[in-house]
Amino acid sequence: MTDPRYSVTGSNYPLTEKQRELISIVEAIGPGMAARAAGYDREASFPFENYAEMRKAGLLGLCVPEEFGGRGADLRTYSIVSATIGKYCGATALTFNMHACSTLWPGILADDLDMTSAQRAEHEKYRKVHFKRVVEDGAVYAQPFSEGSAAAAGKAPFGTLAAKVDGGWVVNGRKIFASLSGAANYYGVLCTEDKPDLSMRDTLYMAVPGDAPGLTITGDWDPLGMRGTVSRTLVFKDLFVPDDAAMMPRGVYFQAASRWPHMFTTLSPTYMGIAIAAYEFTVKYLRGEVPGTPPVKRRMYPTKQIAVAEMFVKLEQTRALFLRMLDDARVDPPKDARLRAYATQYTIMENANDICRLAIRTCGGQSMLKSLPLERLYRDSRCGALMLPWTAELCLDRIGREALYEPGEADD
């Protein structure tokens, strides 16, 4: 077990037996992930080796309900596991978010939503197909939602369209920033049912096989950070998927997005993990304990001590909100919990980057060399605030509006 100072929850947090076991699985494979992280970053290549290890350790079925053979992790358990992965490799944690949520949402989360008995029966039949692939075949799912329009922000229908045909759907459209592009076995694509008067209520959530005729992966991938996510563009041209591609019945994604808002917080554990890693590195570096560097101590300078104190305060503020948010997550949360979720996402994404900034400033020039992880943590941490639908800007936007207006209120 890792030093409790650097665990995601800190000591004295009421973890269940299952959570302890899952954390120790990640802690066992984490150092190997950390050792490979620089290579994936340099090459902008997907962390296949990390996925092979997670598959072997049974982590791919983390959020698959137990009755379907998975580990039955709820949002709290997922978030703690994901942040633990994030301490070792940000790109692995971020892509694991896309995969794990492809089972969390149709799984435990969908159980909380209203469905007609016909929808519920259809959902049981189809989700069994997806869960079996993950648990028995070790399949990996991605979540390409973004299109470069207002859709991923939740403000307009998705432009990727699915037309009903006999036995399935024909999909046409395009997704940008598709993490796991070329690596996923299935892409969980959000699209709009193709009919007159496109509506967000008719959002469909479909699993497109990675080898489906009509799917092309285009564009290059050479970004600032999170390079191992390999988030290229997907193009769908008259792509047929059968009826059992549905990951949620028609209309249920729209209901989930409005009634289970914490579903959009699942990117933030990655960045919570990065913040912890940057703090941990700084303490070790100033104590002269980073492997592969000379054992020079820098901890005796008051300015270093103040910088570490500032980082610690920020880290604990961030962690406190993170853990509080996990208590709040449920269907139809009260208004204060919804606003706190936005505030938490904002805080984690902004503070992770700020903690990395402070870490580089106080550790100094050698710490930004590519032979050490800090400069990668810094670049990776910058990406969190940009991710839709809850970018840092949109979190502020939502807090401001929802704090000042009750539903249905408008000004004269």
Ligand X SMILES: Cc1cc2nc3c(=O)[nH]c(=O)nc-3n(C[C@H](O)[C@H](O)[C@H](O)COP(=O)(O)OP(=O)(O)OC[C@H]3O[C@@H](n4cnc5c(N)ncnc54)[C@H](O)[C@@H]3O)c2cc1C
What does the binding site for ligand X look like in residue numbers (CB under 6 A)?
98, 143-146, 148, 150, 152-153, 155, 177-179, 226, 229, 231, 383, 386-388, 391, 393-394, 397
Toward ligand X, which CB reaches closer, 397 or 402?
397
Toward ligand X, which CB reaches closer, 62 or 151?
151
Toward ligand X, which CB reaches closer, 340 or 382?
382
Instruction: Check residue 291 and give left, alpha or beta (phi > 0: left; psi -120 to 50: alpha).
Output: beta
Q: How far is the CB of 198 from ligand X (least distance, A)?
A: 17
Are 107 and 244 spatial neighbours (Cβ–Cβ below 8 Å)? no
Q: How far is the CB of 181 from ligand X (least distance, A)?
A: 8
Q: How far is the CB of 225 from ligand X (least distance, A)?
A: 7
Q: How far is the CB of 7 from ligand X (least distance, A)?
A: 26
Q: How far is the CB of 149 from ligand X (least distance, A)?
A: 7
Toward ligand X, which CB reaches closer, 235 or 388?
388
Toward ligand X, which CB reaches closer, 94 or 115?
94
User: Pairing relation of β-strands 186-193 and 203-209?
Assistant: antiparallel
Q: How far is the CB of 265 from ligand X (least distance, A)?
A: 14
The whole-angstrom separation of Cα 379 and Cα 224 is 6
Toward ligand X, which CB reaches closer, 205 or 285?
205
Q: How far is the CB of 173 from ligand X (least distance, A)?
A: 13
The whole-angstrom separation of Cα 218 and Cα 236 is 11
Q: How many Cβ atoms are within 10 Å of 157's Cβ, its own excluded?
A: 21
- Separation of CA 71 from chain center: 18
Toward ligand X, which CB reaches closer, 130 or 304?
130
Q: How far is the CB of 390 from ligand X (least distance, A)?
A: 9
Toward ligand X, which CB reaches closer, 179 or 266?
179
